[in-house]
Amino acid sequence: MYYESYCAAIQGVDANLISVEVDVSDGLPMFSLVGLLSSETKEAKDRVRISIRNSGYRFPTKHITVNLAPADIRKEGTAFDLAMAVALLVAFGQIPASCLQETMFIGELGLDGAVKRVNGVLAMVYAGKKHGLKTCMVPEENMKEAALVSGIEVIGVKNLNTLVAYFVENGQLPKAETPEFTLAPGKEKYDFSDVIGQSMMKRALEIAVAGMHNVMMIGSPGAGKTMLAKRIPSIMPALTFEESLEISKIYSIAGLLDGEGGFMQERPFRSPHHSITATALVGGGRHAKPGEISLADGGVLFLDELPEFHGHTLEMLRQPLEEHKITISRMHGTYTFPAKFMLVAAMNPCKCGFYPNRNKCHCSEQQVRKYLGKISRPLLDRIDLCAEATELSFLDMSEGKKGETSAEIRARVERARKLQAERYREESVWYNGELSANQVERFCGIDEDSKQLLGQVFQKYEMSTRSYHRVLKVARTIADLEGEEQIQKKHISEAICYRGMDKKYWGANIWS
């Protein structure tokens, strides 16, 4: 007897529909699984057999073959258990074959018959809907997550007994309702008004968020770099429903999605320690998984104490910063993870942290050169803005003068984002920071005075073509914040200031 049920296998941030084919026949008693399976998937035959028996159902001594097709896609994980068990129960005559029609089954089985949660359910349900399935049965713990996909009925399953009762005795199982999506503009516990002074740094971060530009903060210890970075999500616009779904898929696959809410409501803020490995940062591993750059998709990747990161690890950021994705090739397939993050880096100007203040800094030129040299020029070239965090005086701290609130800054950012959305509605980008060289020429035109100024700076600082384009993109964002259609000389001047700051530290005075 041959029966077929459906499940899905994760590949990257998407899933492929998997056909679970079951054949039960007379002959030498055997239970074999085939179809390019990982070790945990091969172990499913023991979980499924014992789970069925412990749930009170007969498991006959037959020649059983289960094939997970197509065979050229590697199957990893335990999400196939429920689909195998249901197809076998149909073959054993425990439940009607009609239950397999247009239905997907996802879940791991416990030895007592319980259906346990699995990772990546959101992507799996999307795959089922794409292939025309009408119903998806998932663990109860994954219901809220699966319900985000409209157009397919989601039913929660607690154990095998309740599933059999549902099909045989018209029992009741909980059906998921699409959760209400609410806009969450940012984390209210952090606000920019808490930061005293640092007006230049706040301005740089506002520009960076408005155009999704990469930014570096340089300053002495205790100047407030980390404090500012933690407040960046509070000035970012709220997630759209489409953005929330994309980020939720990544977190679902990584097993980090909150089961209570079912989906991501706030933009991610990832701050890995400088001891992180290259694989953990960009993704990969034996079984390819998303790394920190993908978990920061749509939000902020904050690298504090940038020079302390391993050089090889930092260099792996270069391609994702340009392409906004990371492609990982393995023997069993190629996986692509999104990486549309905003890089925020923070560092001290030297080992002690006080260069170029020679009253406090006692590092030699060689020590300063070695410390700054940990950041390569190609990586530095991919950072749009570089701003300096200045030391606060006692008077500044004692007065405690409050600045603008995050809500006030966010209002300006949202206006600039709307202008960009309208301008690029026919393009493949959303923000100024994503513009290609060709798009820069089309959307970042400047007048003769601006060209002359930029030409002088280009020669003086020996800028690369990439730096030239990044100055224009930042100037475009500054103009958007001011509601100006045309980039003016003052916008170019301000954008150049944020490129000139890195020359102060990486310029001839250090490298001579």
pLDDT digits (tens, 9 = 90+) for 194-205: 888 788 899 999
**pLDDT of res. 399:** 66
Indicate if the pLDDT at residue 508 is higher than 50: no
- Per-residue pLDDT averaged across 109-117, rounded? 96
Domain span(s) for CATH 3.40.50.300 in the chain: 192-511
Which residues, at least 6 apart from 207, have a Cβ–Cβ distance to it below 8 Å? 213, 385, 474, 477, 478, 481, 498
Q: Which of 124, 123, 119, 122 is nearest to 105 (CA)?
A: 124
Indicate if the pLDDT at residue 394 is higher than 70: no
For residues 6 and 369, the model is more confident at 6
Indicate if the pLDDT at residue 417 is higher than 80: yes
Least confident of 30-44, 250-264, 272-286, 425-439: 250-264
Least confident of 168-177, 305-314, 396-405: 396-405
- Residues 430-487: tens digit of each pLDDT: 999 999 999 999 999 998 999 999 888 888 878 888 889 999 999 999 999 999 999 9
Return the CATH number of 2-168, one of 3.40.50.300, 3.30.230.10, 3.30.1330.60, 3.40.50.720: 3.30.230.10
Sign of CA dihedral 437, 440, 442, 448: negative
- Per-residue pLDDT averaged across 239-262, rounded? 84
- Per-residue pLDDT averaged across 131-146, rounded? 94
Would you state the structure tokens that stand for residue 342, as one six-digit string?
A: 């905003």
- Residues 74-90: tens digit of each pLDDT: 899 999 999 999 999 99
Which residue's entry shows tokens 């906004």?
Answer: 324
- Per-residue pLDDT averaged across 344-349, rounded? 94
Q: What mean pLDDT is reported for the chain?
A: 89
**pLDDT of res. 509:** 40
**pLDDT of res. 506:** 75
**pLDDT of res. 421:** 93
**pLDDT of res. 507:** 65
**pLDDT of res. 464:** 85
pLDDT interval class at 261 (50, 70, 90)? low
- Residues 210-231: tens digit of each pLDDT: 999 999 999 888 888 999 999 9
- Residues 267-318: tens digit of each pLDDT: 999 999 999 999 999 998 877 889 999 999 999 999 999 999 999 999 999 9
d(CA 382, CA 37): 41
Sign of CA dihedral 410, 415, 419, 424: positive
**pLDDT of res. 266:** 87
Q: Which of 154, 370, 404 is nearest to 262 (CA)?
A: 154
**pLDDT of res. 189:** 73
User: What CATH homologous superfamily does 192-511 map to?
Assistant: P-loop containing nucleotide triphosphate hydrolases (3.40.50.300)
- Per-residue pLDDT averaged across 375-402, rounded? 80
User: pTM of the entire structure?
Assistant: 0.88
Residue 159 β-bridge partners: 114
Domain span(s) for CATH 3.30.230.10 in the chain: 2-168
- Per-residue pLDDT averaged across 171-184, rounded? 76
**pLDDT of res. 512:** 31
Which residues, at least 6 apart from 58, have a Cβ–Cβ distance to it below 8 Å? 92, 94
pLDDT interval class at 128 (50, 70, 90)? very high
pLDDT interval class at 400 (50, 70, 90)? low
**pLDDT of res. 397:** 66
Which residue's entry shows tokens 């001290």?
Answer: 348
- Residues 114-124: tens digit of each pLDDT: 999 999 999 99
**pLDDT of res. 274:** 95
Q: Which of 54, 102, 109 is nearest to 78 (CA)?
A: 109
Indicate if the pLDDT at residue 186 is higher than 50: no
Indicate if the pLDDT at residue 187 is higher than 60: no
